[in-house]
Chains A and B, each alone.
Chain A
């Protein structure tokens, strides 16, 4: 379902703010029609990378193309075909929903403006809010409007920077359905997120921490590559066990998951050998498949600066 022509193809993109290297030699390749998840902790350089891709920031190093145009010198050619949604709501709060969309449509020189605005509002269920001031919309509807605004000019590439941050689960689900529908039409999307359930809805993922790209691939590939073995521990008084678990040979991380603990390590044999004796009589351990979350936490530990 994906063609071989990469929509985003950048190599060793680097951005330095003052003395701090915020993005350090990040290379990405995103194919047409792909939903590409961009993950990483806060301050890892996701936003900066996305901004470099669409010309909002000038890279200090690296090269590459976005939609076939040079990211360093041809951002004017890239902009008209990119839909960008900033992390912070960045439409005009004192303009109505319709006015905001019309403004964006005019900025991009959309041919049949009235129709484009009406169609977009229809599709995003915004018609009922046409005359509402954008500033008065609730978080979920603001995000919906922002998505509508970045699609008004039928872009070929969507760059969405944490589009679902602070949005309720229903609105998030609707949002992802919409993104998949767009992908079906051949639109490529690069979406940064913190949510693991969202990461699993992406075709491919990239994980970035402290400015460095740690891994890329499908969720399954990434999990398999890390080769992490995980046990789920359940029982009463689990928190008292955490320090003890961490000291066991082979244990690389202990993470609280609701009422259970997830204990992971690459050395499955060591864990197998030491976990049951330690827990005997106090809790039970069941081996489970490692999830993306454990893998990402493990990845991040390995690169702490």
Chain B
């Protein structure tokens, strides 16, 4: 009769697991090195209180007071003036393209009205597709205006430092006026879901053939690498589109996200994004020794995609190096495309600047995949 629990059998089991863990170098490395890398990467990169947000200025007054307000905004570190614009048209364009986060408009005769105690209107408009990117800066605006104005309003102007402030501040959050988080998250999820499922599924594609021994049989046939790789991708492109359709329907009927742009356009440009993700998966597939490694690599790609793309945290809140890193990822650009098309009604010309980075990524990833794909068992 054997014992119900034998410490020596148990110890043998544990020891065997450790030996196997050590043998799979990549897995071992991922268990130890990756958390460390991620800790450093994300610890420093993620910042939910973004500063230095690109802001355009439409100063119709150019008085000493308007300059004071602007200087105060700049000193707050929330706003960084990137362009001084002349008219509304340019303002619209900049917002639509997502080049700027804020526009501050100072009306004509701002200084004169201020001195007269007429509480001139100071307009702050924001691209609020991602409410979390704008909320802190917008909230600080009242404080900034009052603080800086009060410094100038001394002597005979001191009585203007009234309770309600010398200036009327108006805040227009554009594209998502009620700051509904879902409006930002749900379209973004489209990209996240595609990235997650497609990369994992395809990363297993060739690894599975190798692990099951079917690769040998495949390699002996006259089949060419491109035929194998593309043949494995096509079915998943279809899967990607089914996922997209599901999310679009859910966005519309469950979350009531307004859809301003063209659905066919979104579906058309998504092809690039889907293909880019599949390219990554296929490349992982040619590198991974076994299916576990393939899944780990997928997660290694997925995590920065989610954290550095602007999906969870404002892209502009990250330090510059993290923004560069994020700019490599297809999800970063796809998020801008989806949010642009869905929430801003962007057309093809508006999103074009985000298409080529994805295309570049696709070419690179698929290129590495094809290059790494071995036609022999060497």
B222 x A108 contact (CB < 8 A): yes
Scan residues 96-122 of chain A and give those whose CB is less than 8 A from a CB of chain B.
104, 107-109
Q: Does chain A have a CB within 8 A of B220?
A: yes
Chain A contact residues, CB within 8 Å of chain B: 51, 54-58, 76, 79-80, 82, 84, 86, 88-93, 104, 107-109, 149
B222 x A56 contact (CB < 8 A): no
A90 x B214 contact (CB < 8 A): yes
CB distance from B374 to the nearest CB of A (A): 10
What residues of B have a CB within 8 angstroms of the CB of A76 in the complex?
A: 222
Residue of B nearest to A77 (CB): B222
What residues of A have a CB within 8 angstroms of the CB of B212 in the complex?
A: 90, 92-93
Q: Does chain A have a CB within 8 A of B221?
A: yes
B222 x A57 contact (CB < 8 A): no
Known A-B contacts A89-B213, A90-B213, A92-B214; A56 and B219 likewise in contact (beta carbons under 8 Å): yes
- Distance in angstroms between the alpha carbons of A58 and B377 in the assembled complex: 9
A79 x B222 contact (CB < 8 A): yes
- Distance in angstroms between the alpha carbons of A86 and B222 in the assembled complex: 16
Chain B contact residues, CB within 8 Å of chain A: 212-223, 375-378
A57 x B213 contact (CB < 8 A): no
B221 x A57 contact (CB < 8 A): no
The residue from B221, B223, B378 contacting A58, defined by CB atoms under 8 A apart: B378
- Distance in angstroms between the alpha carbons of A149 and B218 in the assembled complex: 12
B378 x A86 contact (CB < 8 A): no
- Distance in angstroms between the alpha carbons of A80 and B220 in the assembled complex: 9
Known A-B contacts A51-B377, A56-B377, A58-B376; A82 and B220 likewise in contact (beta carbons under 8 Å): yes
Known A-B contacts A79-B222, A80-B222, A108-B222; A90 and B217 likewise in contact (beta carbons under 8 Å): yes
CB distance from B296 to the nearest CB of A (A): 24
The residue from A86, A92, A93, A104 contacting B216, defined by CB atoms under 8 A apart: A86
Q: Which 4 A-B pairs have the closest CB atoms?
A: A90-B217, A107-B221, A84-B220, A88-B213
What residues of B have a CB within 8 angstroms of the CB of A90 in the complex?
A: 212-217
CB distance from B303 to the nearest CB of A (A): 31
What residues of A have a CB within 8 angstroms of the CB of B222 in the complex?
A: 76, 79-80, 107-109
Q: List 23 A-B contacts (CB under 8 A).
A: A55-B220, A56-B216, A56-B219, A56-B220, A57-B377, A58-B376, A79-B222, A82-B220, A84-B217, A86-B213, A86-B216, A88-B213, A90-B213, A90-B215, A90-B216, A90-B217, A91-B217, A92-B212, A92-B214, A93-B212, A107-B218, A108-B221, A108-B222
What residues of A have a CB within 8 angstroms of the CB of B376 in the complex?
A: 55-58
B214 x A91 contact (CB < 8 A): yes
CB distance from A252 to the nearest CB of B (A): 38
Q: Which has the most chain B C-beta neighbours within 10 Å: A54, A84, A90, A104?
A: A90
CB distance from B122 to the nearest CB of A (A): 67
CB distance from A286 to the nearest CB of B (A): 47
- Distance in angstroms between the alpha carbons of A80 and B223 in the assembled complex: 10
B214 x A107 contact (CB < 8 A): no
The residue from A51, A84, A91, A107 contacting B223, defined by CB atoms under 8 A apart: A107
Residue of B nearest to A100 (CB): B217
Residue of B nearest to A56 (CB): B377
CB distance from B235 to the nearest CB of A (A): 14
What residues of B have a CB within 8 angstroms of the CB of A92 in the complex?
A: 212, 214
CB distance from A173 to the nearest CB of B (A): 25
What residues of B have a CB within 8 angstroms of the CB of A89 in the complex?
A: 213
What residues of A have a CB within 8 angstroms of the CB of B213 in the complex?
A: 86, 88-90
The residue from A57, A80, A108 contacting B378, defined by CB atoms under 8 A apart: A57
What residues of A have a CB within 8 angstroms of the CB of B214 in the complex?
A: 90-92
B221 x A79 contact (CB < 8 A): yes
Q: Which has the most chain A C-beta neighbours within 10 Å: B213, B214, B218, B376?
A: B214
- Distance in angstroms between the alpha carbons of A89 and B221 in the assembled complex: 15
A54 x B220 contact (CB < 8 A): yes
